[in-house]
Amino acid sequence: MEKSTTKKKIAVFISGRGSNLKSLIKNSKLKQGKFKIHLVISNKLTAQGLKYAKFNKIKSFAIEKSLKEFENKSLSLIKKYKINYICLAGFMRILSSSFIKKAKIPIINIHPSLLPKFKGLNTHERAIKSKQKFSGCTVHYVSEKLDSGKIILQKKVKILKKDNPKTLASKVLKLEHKAYREALNFIINF
Protein backbone atom coordinates (compact mmCIF):
# COMPACT_ATOMS: atom_id res chain seq x y z
CA MET A 1 0.00 0.00 0.00
CA GLU A 2 1.25 3.50 -0.73
CA LYS A 3 2.56 5.23 2.38
CA SER A 4 0.53 8.41 1.94
CA THR A 5 -2.74 6.51 2.26
CA THR A 6 -1.77 5.30 5.74
CA LYS A 7 -0.81 8.68 7.08
CA LYS A 8 -2.78 9.70 10.17
CA LYS A 9 -5.26 12.50 9.61
CA ILE A 10 -4.77 15.62 11.66
CA ALA A 11 -7.06 18.56 12.29
CA VAL A 12 -5.23 21.71 13.37
CA PHE A 13 -7.08 24.31 15.44
CA ILE A 14 -5.73 27.86 15.13
CA SER A 15 -6.62 31.41 16.13
CA GLY A 16 -4.02 33.56 14.42
CA ARG A 17 -0.66 33.68 12.66
CA GLY A 18 -0.37 29.95 12.01
CA SER A 19 3.41 29.52 11.83
CA ASN A 20 3.17 26.17 13.65
CA LEU A 21 0.47 25.13 11.19
CA LYS A 22 2.72 26.14 8.29
CA SER A 23 5.57 24.06 9.66
CA LEU A 24 3.29 21.04 10.20
CA ILE A 25 1.96 21.32 6.65
CA LYS A 26 5.55 21.34 5.38
CA ASN A 27 6.35 18.19 7.34
CA SER A 28 3.15 16.45 6.30
CA LYS A 29 4.24 16.68 2.68
CA LEU A 30 7.35 14.60 3.31
CA LYS A 31 7.07 11.02 2.13
CA GLN A 32 8.40 9.62 5.39
CA GLY A 33 6.12 11.78 7.58
CA LYS A 34 3.51 9.88 9.56
CA PHE A 35 0.73 12.45 9.37
CA LYS A 36 -1.25 14.58 6.96
CA ILE A 37 -2.90 17.89 7.79
CA HIS A 38 -6.39 17.11 6.62
CA LEU A 39 -8.44 19.88 8.17
CA VAL A 40 -7.86 23.36 9.63
CA ILE A 41 -10.36 24.97 11.95
CA SER A 42 -10.06 28.55 13.15
CA ASN A 43 -12.17 30.32 15.75
CA LYS A 44 -11.26 33.61 14.04
CA LEU A 45 -12.43 34.60 10.56
CA THR A 46 -9.31 36.70 9.99
CA ALA A 47 -6.69 34.18 11.18
CA GLN A 48 -3.65 34.46 8.93
CA GLY A 49 -3.13 30.69 9.17
CA LEU A 50 -6.28 30.13 7.07
CA LYS A 51 -4.32 31.46 4.10
CA TYR A 52 -1.75 28.65 4.41
CA ALA A 53 -4.55 26.12 4.49
CA LYS A 54 -6.15 27.56 1.35
CA PHE A 55 -2.83 27.87 -0.45
CA ASN A 56 -2.14 24.19 0.26
CA LYS A 57 -5.69 23.15 -0.69
CA ILE A 58 -6.48 21.90 2.80
CA LYS A 59 -10.12 21.98 3.88
CA SER A 60 -10.53 24.89 6.25
CA PHE A 61 -13.34 26.32 8.32
CA ALA A 62 -13.63 29.55 10.29
CA ILE A 63 -16.15 29.25 13.09
CA GLU A 64 -16.32 32.55 14.94
CA LYS A 65 -19.16 31.60 17.26
CA SER A 66 -19.84 30.81 20.93
CA LEU A 67 -17.66 28.07 22.41
CA LYS A 68 -20.59 25.66 22.34
CA GLU A 69 -21.32 26.27 18.66
CA PHE A 70 -17.62 26.13 17.81
CA GLU A 71 -17.26 22.80 19.59
CA ASN A 72 -20.39 21.24 18.08
CA LYS A 73 -19.47 22.19 14.54
CA SER A 74 -15.84 21.07 15.06
CA LEU A 75 -16.98 17.73 16.49
CA SER A 76 -19.14 17.04 13.47
CA LEU A 77 -16.27 17.92 11.10
CA ILE A 78 -13.91 15.64 13.02
CA LYS A 79 -16.34 12.73 12.71
CA LYS A 80 -17.15 13.52 9.07
CA TYR A 81 -13.50 13.53 7.99
CA LYS A 82 -12.49 10.64 10.28
CA ILE A 83 -9.74 12.66 11.96
CA ASN A 84 -7.23 10.74 14.13
CA TYR A 85 -5.61 13.59 16.10
CA ILE A 86 -6.44 17.20 16.93
CA CYS A 87 -3.47 19.57 17.21
CA LEU A 88 -3.90 22.96 18.84
CA ALA A 89 -1.44 25.47 17.40
CA GLY A 90 -1.83 28.98 18.74
CA PHE A 91 -5.46 28.19 19.48
CA MET A 92 -6.61 30.74 22.03
CA ARG A 93 -9.76 29.16 23.44
CA ILE A 94 -10.04 26.66 26.25
CA LEU A 95 -11.92 23.58 25.10
CA SER A 96 -14.58 22.22 27.44
CA SER A 97 -14.19 18.85 29.18
CA SER A 98 -17.30 17.70 27.34
CA PHE A 99 -15.58 18.40 23.99
CA ILE A 100 -12.45 16.53 25.10
CA LYS A 101 -14.57 13.49 26.04
CA LYS A 102 -16.77 13.57 22.97
CA ALA A 103 -13.89 13.94 20.52
CA LYS A 104 -12.60 10.49 21.56
CA ILE A 105 -9.24 11.12 19.85
CA PRO A 106 -6.01 12.51 21.31
CA ILE A 107 -5.82 16.30 21.48
CA ILE A 108 -2.33 17.77 21.54
CA ASN A 109 -1.13 21.28 22.31
CA ILE A 110 2.09 23.25 22.07
CA HIS A 111 2.91 25.72 24.81
CA PRO A 112 5.76 28.26 24.75
CA SER A 113 7.32 27.42 28.13
CA LEU A 114 8.92 24.54 29.94
CA LEU A 115 5.78 23.25 31.63
CA PRO A 116 4.84 22.99 34.46
CA LYS A 117 6.44 26.42 34.61
CA PHE A 118 4.45 29.36 33.24
CA LYS A 119 1.08 27.93 32.30
CA GLY A 120 -1.26 30.40 30.57
CA LEU A 121 -0.32 33.66 28.86
CA ASN A 122 2.72 36.00 28.70
CA THR A 123 5.13 33.13 29.27
CA HIS A 124 8.26 34.85 27.92
CA GLU A 125 7.79 37.97 29.99
CA ARG A 126 7.27 35.88 33.12
CA ALA A 127 10.27 33.65 32.40
CA ILE A 128 12.56 36.69 32.02
CA LYS A 129 11.15 38.53 35.04
CA SER A 130 11.65 35.54 37.30
CA LYS A 131 15.27 35.22 36.10
CA GLN A 132 15.03 31.75 34.61
CA LYS A 133 18.22 30.46 32.98
CA PHE A 134 16.30 28.49 30.36
CA SER A 135 13.00 28.62 28.55
CA GLY A 136 11.58 26.52 25.75
CA CYS A 137 8.45 24.81 24.60
CA THR A 138 6.35 21.82 25.56
CA VAL A 139 4.19 19.55 23.42
CA HIS A 140 1.62 17.83 25.60
CA TYR A 141 -1.71 16.03 25.57
CA VAL A 142 -4.68 18.22 26.40
CA SER A 143 -6.48 17.34 29.60
CA GLU A 144 -9.31 19.06 31.39
CA LYS A 145 -6.88 21.28 33.34
CA LEU A 146 -5.17 24.10 31.40
CA ASP A 147 -1.63 23.28 30.18
CA SER A 148 -1.43 20.27 32.50
CA GLY A 149 -1.77 17.09 30.41
CA LYS A 150 0.94 14.46 29.95
CA ILE A 151 4.11 15.87 28.41
CA ILE A 152 5.25 14.33 25.10
CA LEU A 153 8.36 16.39 24.39
CA GLN A 154 10.18 19.54 25.52
CA LYS A 155 12.93 21.59 23.90
CA LYS A 156 14.90 24.21 25.77
CA VAL A 157 16.93 27.28 24.97
CA LYS A 158 19.16 29.51 27.09
CA ILE A 159 17.82 32.89 28.16
CA LEU A 160 20.58 35.41 27.54
CA LYS A 161 21.04 38.68 29.48
CA LYS A 162 20.23 40.61 26.31
CA ASP A 163 16.95 38.74 25.67
CA ASN A 164 13.63 40.50 25.94
CA PRO A 165 10.16 38.89 25.58
CA LYS A 166 10.26 39.48 21.81
CA THR A 167 13.67 37.93 21.14
CA LEU A 168 12.91 35.04 23.47
CA ALA A 169 9.56 34.44 21.74
CA SER A 170 11.26 34.19 18.36
CA LYS A 171 13.93 31.77 19.65
CA VAL A 172 11.24 29.60 21.25
CA LEU A 173 9.05 29.73 18.14
CA LYS A 174 11.86 28.19 16.07
CA LEU A 175 12.04 25.37 18.60
CA GLU A 176 8.27 24.95 18.52
CA HIS A 177 8.31 24.27 14.80
CA LYS A 178 10.76 21.39 15.30
CA ALA A 179 9.21 20.12 18.51
CA TYR A 180 5.66 19.79 17.15
CA ARG A 181 6.55 17.61 14.18
CA GLU A 182 8.97 15.51 16.23
CA ALA A 183 6.37 14.93 18.92
CA LEU A 184 3.77 13.83 16.38
CA ASN A 185 6.13 11.50 14.55
CA PHE A 186 7.08 10.09 17.97
CA ILE A 187 3.55 9.32 19.22
CA ILE A 188 2.08 8.06 15.95
CA ASN A 189 2.45 4.31 15.60
CA PHE A 190 0.91 2.49 12.73
How open is the CA angle 116-28-5, to the nearest 5 degrees? Answer: 120
Active-site residue flag, 124 = no
Which is it for strands 8-14 and 59-62: parallel, antiparallel or unpaired?
Answer: unpaired
Nearest residue (beta carbon) to ligand GRF: 90
> Cβ distance 40 to 59 under 8 Å?
yes
d(CA 122, CA 58): 31
Query: Taking the complex as a whole, how short is the minimal distance between the CB of residue 89 and ligand GRF, in angstroms?
Result: 5
Q: Closest CB to ligand GRF among 20 and 28?
A: 20
- Residue 174 sits at φ, ψ, to 5 deg, of -60, -40
Give me the residues that bind ligand GRF (CB under 6 A), please. 16-20, 89-90, 110-112, 173, 176
Q: Closest CB to ligand GRF among 1 and 10?
A: 10
Query: Taking the complex as a whole, how short is the minimal distance between the CB of residue 84 and ligand GRF, in angstroms?
Result: 21
The residues near 49 (Cβ < 8 Å, ≥ 6 apart) are 12, 14, 16, 17, 18, 19, 21, 22, 40, 42, 89, 90
Query: Taking the complex as a whole, how short is the minimal distance between the CB of residue 1 and ligand GRF, in angstroms?
Result: 32
Give the active site residue among 38, 111, 140, 177.
111
Q: Closest CB to ligand GRF among 102 and 164?
A: 164
Which is it for strands 134-141 and 107-111: parallel, antiparallel or unpaired?
Answer: antiparallel
Query: Taking the complex as a whole, how short is the minimal distance between the CB of residue 173 and ligand GRF, in angstroms?
Result: 6
Q: Which spans in 56-164 are helix H?
A: 67-80, 97-103, 123-129
Q: Closest CB to ligand GRF among 110 and 183?
A: 110
Instruction: Catalogue the active-site residues.
Output: 111
